[in-house]
Structure 1
């Protein structure tokens, strides 16, 4: 049985016998420490390392959108530090009155306070008042906050004389390093106020939805009263107890002259008037969990945050970082609304969209028609279908005809004119593809058009607008097996499993499984006149002391000639706003705003896509069954039945609506003038 248990069990007799002796010993020790010479104090300070005095407590990190709004918070403790000048004076007065009214008058240890506490405890027949100074309490709270396991917590809180002696020494060292205002500020930022709120700023938000600087006298007294027993005085669950404790604090403030009795009585008469803000930590509680997941993936890979993914995640959860992301709230809202409007959350068919800014690589939106969570029976998932597998995404989905523009780009780069014509029958067999590694010829490869449709002689523009397979496989044969995938990789495309793209005849029909992120990145390269910029979700990270960490900057390279990129753009504009009535993207027009894009449907209809861009924004939309093997046939979405789902039927309208809303209010500019 430890000291505290002995006192509580024995009542007045033990307090009188054991308690008096212990407190007398501690008071004597405190007086001795209090009267140390300067050289002795310095020696004690050197003996006690800074980490043992008051280790840094874990602080939460915040992820911000481009407008400064918070889109996610991470932490093992919900804590935000503020300057003492940003804490209402009433809060400071209330805490000092109830915890250590003589804080500014005594040193780290207060023998007078210990004797007063001893007298009060003997009179009460139990432990009713502590003799610890605010500095001692700060030391104890700091060591608890920095504890790595239960043993550390026990050492910091055990009711033993040895622990009390260590606490006294550490408090003395703290006061030799920090002035009183600094100690009070750190204490207020550290102490636990219940309901997951660490520090006065978070407590003010948790209970009253306001900053600490705006707290009233009654609210300040309530928070000060919670500290002693956060569960017993929880104003949400135990409002009566919390009110009584608040009034005790107000009475004490009046007794010590920090307020007058009239002020105390007026504050006591006030109701609690709580306006709670719930605790929200991690992507699960983010309003934009899928973009949040992308930020976490980048943090995990960022070398400036640590030498390993585990260290980087520790910095995220405990380092108090402010992470400035690329998320644009207007674009994100447009993406989420478009996905949700076209296919309800919880539908068996999933859809994901990524929207990227050409010329910068800044990802402005990520949305999926799924709730973030682990309850799969309720349709939740933590697999981010918008990203690659090593980013928390899936193994990807076959891209279908959205890969045809890479073949077109390789053809234009090789000098093949858009007027190049091929006969496009319902099916064709080609035998001129060669293996990039060995130089050997592939076996004959047969391809057919949708619904076995036959065309006559076509040029590149009409074949692109109609997405004619038999034309494109002949074009791919002439371009060669190697050039299109090499070009696509330079534009940012890779398989979602991290492997290189396939060098096979069927590349032209999009047999590689990719993520919406990579496809949007590649189409943004076309929009930026052939300048590829690596996708990124983070533009800056600020540490608690204001220092800036190194983050990957804008990483852009001209990977295809400008005239080639513009040539492909012109072809893809014909898909949306061309003259052919049977163009596949006819329903995706953005009106007066020039737009380019391409539908994509796999041969067995297991995945459908639309990827496209304007000069300001590029986006890729995927839809399909998450397992990726079920054909999208005989499906019903939003009351409409589809015998077979195509890229122009679901992903295309999602893309169109997202782009219209995201670009609303933006001037419509001529593409060529804007790029010159």
Structure 2
């Protein structure tokens, strides 16, 4: 059999099947009206009851919009590019063109056009091909709604199956729709739902995609072209198939003329002209298209799914409005500061995260990468949140906080040797294969041997903080303090679990050697800045449905609730810590490490950090209004990043925060609490005396690594912060090789 014969046979078979379906359809649909008006009324009620929920929504959902806190658009999430519009936002000529070409008896039938179906059958049989469809616009609306809302392959197959059962169900639902909604409502829903090609769902998206206009402003030629796309959006769209588009548009125009809706002059003027298009871009979709804050966008999407329990379908199909905590001014300032310091896509990653103390609102996330795109400077790993490298001596704040809580005041004075050998903690020496006392030293020769806790914190003395860990007797208080303030230790790739650090009694904890999340770090310091109130970091202010109502969870309550905040340390302890760390930034404190972050007129509580070999460096600074972390690290190797924490990171912090802080009134920190300050945060040692209290009594407590444990300790502790050379950091004071200024005294320890 020839190919032509086979084609003819297939066509005749299809036409025969169509006739059978139409006959069954007519018989099945006539049944409710056989027996008089009473029976018809009863069946009308049953048809309304049969409407699935997908067909009771008056407007199909559009894209989910993700907004910054000021209402500006960050991006959209969507599976279908659709922007629903109201009836008065659609040009009348568009409605007329669609009705004329798809369902000219639309305003006369009740959802099922039996006369039109039979007419189409006769015409198609006579022509030997399918030239005219028999479904009404209402039937098409039913089919397209069920197809586009199907969640399983089985549902999609059922909505598109060429069976008598599907046709009967579709027709009955069409009748129910007509009994429920007005003609204009049905037509508007159809125009908002149907696919027009080029990824455009609905008339507004189509008008924007092909002509860069709104649906209300469509002209007759444009409306005719769009109406013609409904049946074959791929083959007749004008961007890739302009000749097909012109032929199909002219068919629509001819039909409109035949029905008396356009004049012969309009027809003759338009049909010879090609289709004129002014293509518009599809709306941004996903974090890869974010206009600002791509990594913040990624954090938000993960938060919506993992913390708030939304599904991907809800995000991509729900038409939600998600208002986030992002402050565009802070994001732009952070982006500029980061890129002015480390080039886009450089081997060194630079990260800047900002959190609002007391609320947990994440205000900005800057990374010297573009999120998710396919280019050398792009990155899908969210370095702003994932623990990658350590943050060095920023962890000394946790040890200091634990010591204050254990009763050792800010004036607690210790004299240490150089290097200092722990009386409590041990480590494994792989060269000698022996368990030996844990030992650290400072970098350089200008560190005083005698320091208060305040001095040791802003000078970042390694020897002092190992001695302070000795005074605590075990590492658990410092680890638990870090957890309470907001640090997590559950990323197995780069972090050691908190309990393991405690069980192994690791003294290297104070030196921040494990991977650290920049967001966690900012949040921990935000807790201290908020006087001890820890909040869960959140990027979301509100989520509303297409009708403007708050999105509800399975419990019937809004999915976005008041943030989870709690008091985790005494306000006085936090106040004292802040006053101690102010000295790291405020100029005039000898051997301070964070002076480059100073912004005149504002109190900034800060701490620097540098891991061994300067593989990773950090600065964290906070005011009562903002807390921000900066980290620079090499994610795939261990090369020197070229700075200490008090250099480039502190400089990024200052550049990013200066325009924000200088535009508003300064807010000072509360003064230190005498209960935790001892003889004052500014207190310095008297002549040190021989240590006679619990530290010496613990000197024989070998509670660290035990003999037989052959696991080497973590990486060596961080080198302390040193001021950068004047050429690199002109705003930073030169290194001080002298003794710190005398202070007023406090409890003293000699080790």
The TM-score with structure 2 as length reference comes to: 0.76
How far apart in 1 are the matches of 2:6 and 2:117?
Answer: 16
Counterpart of 2:611 in structure 1 is: 602
Counterpart of 1:553 in structure 2 is: 562
Q: 1:93 to 1:534 in 2, by over 3 A?
A: same
Among candidates 505, 529, 532, match of residue 530 of structure 1: 532
| 1:93 and 2:96 matched | yes
5 Å-filtered alignment, 1:154-553, equals: 154-258=157-261, 272-278=276-282, 280-287=284-291, 288-302=293-307, 305=310, 312-373=311-372, 378=376, 380-387=378-385, 393=386, 395-432=387-424, 444-451=437-444, 453-480=446-473, 481-497=475-491, 499-500=497-498, 502-503=501-502, 504-548=506-550, 549=552, 550-553=559-562
How far apart in 2 are the matches of 1:513 and 1:291?
Answer: 20
Q: 1:23 to 1:580 in 2, by over 3 A?
A: closer
Q: 1:20 to 1:363 in 2, by over 3 A?
A: closer
How far apart in 1 are the matches of 2:88 and 2:346?
Answer: 51
Q: 1:144 to 1:461 in 2, by over 3 A?
A: same
CA-to-aligned-CA distance 1:570-610 (integer Å, 9 cap, x gap): 22222222303642212222233332211111134332111
Q: How far 1:466 sits from its partner (Å)?
A: 2.1
Counterpart of 1:654 in structure 2 is: 652
How far apart in 2 are the matches of 1:666 and 1:251?
Answer: 66
How far apart in 1 are the matches of 2:94 and 2:289?
Answer: 30
How far apart in 2 are the matches of 1:6 and 1:200?
Answer: 41
Verify the 8 A CA contact 1:58 1:77 in the aligned structure 2: no
Counterpart of 1:32 in structure 2 is: 30
Moved more, 503-512 or 106-115: 503-512
- Give the secondary-structure state (helix, strand or coil) at the position aligned to 2:609: strand
Counterpart of 1:617 in structure 2 is: 626
Q: How far 1:452 sits from its partner (Å)?
A: 5.6
Among candidates 147, 152, 158, match of residue 144 of structure 1: 147
Verify the 8 A CA contact 1:430 1:445 in the aligned structure 2: yes
Counterpart of 2:729 in structure 1 is: none
- Give the secondary-structure state (helix, strand or coil) at the position aligned to 1:458: strand
Moved more, 603-612 or 239-248: 239-248
How far apart in 1 are the matches of 2:520 and 2:47?
Answer: 56
How far apart in 2 are the matches of 1:466 and 1:216?
Answer: 72
CA-to-aligned-CA distance 1:613-650 (integer Å, 9 cap, x gap): 223221112221224xx4332x5xxxxxx3xx321233
Structure 1 residues not aligned, in runs of 5+: 306-311, 388-392, 436-441, 636-641
- Give the secondary-structure state (helix, strand or coil) at the position aligned to 2:448: coil
Counterpart of 1:309 in structure 2 is: none
CA RMSD between the two structures: 3.5
How far apart in 1 are the matches of 2:153 and 2:469?
Answer: 64
How far apart in 2 are the matches of 1:568 and 1:525?
Answer: 11
Counterpart of 1:439 in structure 2 is: none
Aligned length: 638
Q: 1:302 to 1:590 in 2, by over 3 A?
A: same
How far apart in 1 are the matches of 2:462 and 2:582?
Answer: 19
How far apart in 2 are the matches of 1:259 and 1:165?
Answer: 36
The TM-score with structure 1 as length reference comes to: 0.84
Q: 1:489 to 1:13 in 2, by over 3 A?
A: closer
- Give the secondary-structure state (helix, strand or coil) at the position aligned to 2:278: coil
Among candidates 570, 575, 585, match of residue 576 of structure 1: 585
Structure 2 residues not aligned, in runs of 5+: 428-434, 553-558, 672-751
Q: 1:446 to 1:155 in 2, by over 3 A?
A: same
Moved more, 56-65 or 511-520: 56-65
Q: How far 1:543 sits from its partner (Å)?
A: 2.3
Q: 1:224 to 1:76 in 2, by over 3 A?
A: same
CA-to-aligned-CA distance 1:116-158 (integer Å, 9 cap, x gap): 4335435644212112111011111112212345554444334
Q: 1:234 to 1:649 in 2, by over 3 A?
A: farther
How far apart in 2 are the matches of 1:667 and 1:91?
Answer: 55
Counterpart of 2:697 in structure 1 is: none
Verify the 8 A CA contact 1:426 1:455 in the aligned structure 2: no
Verify the 8 A CA contact 2:358 2:534 in the aligned structure 1: yes
Q: How far 1:208 sits from its partner (Å)?
A: 4.0
Q: 1:11 to 1:464 in 2, by over 3 A?
A: closer
How far apart in 2 are the matches of 1:58 and 1:149?
Answer: 19
Moved more, 658-667 or 460-469: 658-667
> Whose helix fraction is larger, Structure 1's or Structure 2's?
1
Verify the 8 A CA contact 2:578 2:669 in the aligned structure 1: no
Q: 1:189 to 1:610 in 2, by over 3 A?
A: same
- Give the secondary-structure state (helix, strand or coil) at the position aligned to 1:114: helix
Counterpart of 1:438 in structure 2 is: none
- Give the secondary-structure state (helix, strand or coil) at the position aligned to 2:498: coil
Verify the 8 A CA contact 1:207 1:277 in the aligned structure 2: no
Q: How far 1:492 sits from its partner (Å)?
A: 0.9
